Every structure is written in structure tokens, then in C-alpha cells.
Amino acid sequence: MNEPASVHFEVLSGPYSGVSGEAPVGTSLIGSGLDADIVFVEQGLESNHFRLTPLHGSIEIEALAAGVSIEGNGDIAVGKRVVISLPAVIHAGTMSIRCTQDSARGSIGLSRLSIIAVSLVLLSSVGIATLAISFLFDGSAGAVSPDAPPGAPLPAKLTLNGPNDRPLDAAAELLQEEVNKAGLLNIKIAPGPGVVSAEGTVTPALVTRWQEVQRWFDQHTNGSLTLVNGVILKEDKPPSSIAVQAVWRGVHPYLLIGGQKYFVGALLNDGWTVDRIEAGRVLLSRNGRLAALPY
């Protein structure tokens, strides 16, 4: 039985230089937009720049935007497809990506693997940048994906082979503090093998704030650490049916709803629980997620 064709790629230039991994089995869309399968931001790529299809011993490249070329073969016109033998080097935007045959990894058995590099890259005068890459097993879901169904569990993740691995406990703890300061209550940070990982959900109104935290992480670490971003975009509205009449924030804080007192830990409508009571808002929890209810 023939194994599905697979291709191993390695970025040769720019802030992502040294990053490597296996391209998804089947056709992959590469670009800077979050609807692409392999996303590289601020690298001169269009939202949908080119398509890559692994074949046995070769790859097919379809140019969807100008500026796609194969080293030694010249430019590919927009809308045209070419088949080239492996190994090959693809030039797109400001990036150079080397593709090689990767039969050793064909036994992973993934039908589709979305590779998302979603952090905004902060380019300093020496070109230092941070990298956020997550591997998501379901092609319909992705980091910060507007199509993710409510309550969808985060898929398992793999880590690209990147440079500069180092102890990350302190960095993860510091990033969690910054996330909490930004009010991103549904994002949890943890150290991993050679990376710092972020998981959870963010609402559309808080996407910019999460991007700012990522830029802060880049500045604080001078681009030397890798952030694996598994944060998913999610519309998570607080329960509108709860009408808070009064709030007591004394020694034993409670809410007054419908003439009854609800202390921290009390169960409200639709499975929501009073998590904590703060100045100007009440934090409710349900299924591991938090919602802020202003008062």
C-alpha cells in the first residue's frame, strides 16, 4: 500500500530561519492570512500566496500571487502550476523555503495538518522576531480561527524544530502574569519542551490586546523564545439573563439577584458559577471558561 506523499520544509531566511516541519498531506495554502494552512506574517506574502501539493519525489506549486519562484527554474506566473523535483527551494515574498522528500514521517497518519504561525512579528533594527506556531490536527480549526465551534476542545499539538531551546518556566510564568494583566482570562500559558505554549479562547474585541501581549513577549525575550499559539477566536457572550440587583464586596462578597444572595462558588443559570467579584464586574465560569458580567 502506497504511503501518502509528504514533504519536509525548512525556512532558510528571515525571522523564521531555522524553523522546520512537515507540510500537511494533500494540498496546502501558504500565505499571510489566517485562512491559509501555513501562515507566515510580515514576510511580504499575500493572504493566499501559493499552493503546495506533495507528490512522490516532487511537488506541485501553484502561484496565487506575484513573486513566487523556484531556485534554478525562475518565476511562476500568477495562476500557473509547475511540478518540480525534490529537493527544491521556493522563493516567495522575502522568504526562502527548502522542500525535501520526507518519507520517514509518512507514517504519522494525519489526513490534514494545519500549521499556523500567528504572532505578529516585531522586526527590530537587527531583524529579531518572535515566532508562534501551532500544529492543529483538525484542518477546520486553527489558532484564532473565526470558524471554531463554541466549546470545541483544543487539539493536541506538536512543536516545530526551532533554534534556541532553553528553560522556559520563568518565561511562561511572566507571560501568564502579562496575560492576566491584560484581562485575557481564558488564556493559559505553560512551558513545554523547548517552547512556551498558549491555549484558550479570545473574543473578537480582545484580539488586538492578545496581539499586543505577543509583541510584548517578543520585546521582552528579544525574539529568542518560541511561542506556540493555540488560542482560538470565540464569541463567548456573558449570560444576559442574569440581572444583578446589588453587589456586596465586603468580607464575604455576594451578588443580589432576584432578592437572593449568591456568594462566590454559587451556581447561577445555564451552568454559570460565580468565580469572583471584582470592582465593576463579576467573573462567571462555565466549563473552564470565564465571562465578565459588568455591574
- Could you tell me if residue 265 is inside a domain? yes
Q: What percentage of the chain carries pLDDT values higher than 70? A: 71
What tens digit of pLDDT does each residue of 126-136 get? 233 333 333 33
Query: Are 188 and 99 in the same domain?
Result: no
Q: What pLDDT shows up at residue 4?
A: 62
Kindly state whether residues 82 and 31 are assigned to the same domain: yes
Phi and psi at residue 177, to the nearest 5°? -60, -40
What average pLDDT score do residues 229-233 get?
A: 82
Provide the residue range defining the domain that includes 222. Answer: 140-236
102 & 16 share domain: yes
Tell me the sheet residues that pair with 88.
99
Q: What letter would DSSP give residue 103? A: G
Are residues 11 and 93 both part of a single domain? yes
**How would you classify the pairing of strands 74-76 and 246-248?**
unpaired
Q: What is the mean pLDDT of the chain?
A: 73
Q: In percent, how much of the chain has pLDDT > 90?
A: 15
Sign of the alpha-carbon dihedral angle for 36, 70, 160, 28 = positive
Residue 1: inside a domain: no
Closest CA to 225 of 142, 159, 155, 137: 159
Mean pLDDT of 143-164: 40
Residues 250, 231, single domain; the answer is no
Per-residue pLDDT at 260? 86
Confidence of residue 64 (pLDDT cuts 50, 70, 90): very high
Q: Looking at the structure, do residues 200 and 284 belong to the same domain, yes or no?
A: no
* pLDDT at 288 > cutoff 70: no
CATH code of the domain covering residue 163: 3.30.70.1770
Average pLDDT over residues 9-25: 77
Q: Which of 236, 257, 285 is the last residue of a domain?
A: 236
Q: For position 78, what pLDDT does the model report?
A: 92
Is 160 found in the same domain as 179? yes
Q: What residue has cell string 532553553? A: 166
Place of cell 527548502: 98
Q: Which of 48-52, 89-93, 216-220 has the lowest mean pLDDT?
A: 216-220
Task: Give the cell for residue 101.
Answer: 522528500
Pairing mode, if any, of strands 88-92 and 95-101? antiparallel
pLDDT of 50 > 60? The answer is: yes
pTM for this model (two decimals)? 0.41
Tell me which residue has cell 499539538: 157
Q: What is the arithmetic mean of pLDDT over 68-88?
A: 92
Residue 132 forms part of a structural domain: no
| 155-171 confidence digits (pLDDT tens) | 333 333 344 444 578 88
Asked if the structure places residue 124 within a domain, the reply is no
Across the range 140-150, mean pLDDT stands at 40
- Tally the residues of the chain: 295
CA distances from 49 to 33, 40, 61, 98, 212 (A): 9, 10, 11, 16, 26
The helix, strand and coil proportions of the chain, stated in percent and rounded to the nearest 5, come to 15, 35, 50
Question: Count of domains in the chain?
Answer: 3
Q: Which residue reads 520563568 in cell numbers?
A: 170
Q: What dihedral angle (degrees, nearest 10) is formed by the CA atoms of 51, 52, 53, 55?
A: 150
Q: Give the model's pLDDT for residue 235.
A: 63
Query: Is 130 domain-assigned?
Result: no
Residue 241 lies in a domain: no
Which has more pLDDT, 174 or 139? 174
Residue 47: give its domain's CATH number.
2.60.200.20
Contacts of 86 (CB under 8 A, 6+ apart): 7, 57, 58, 59, 99, 100, 101
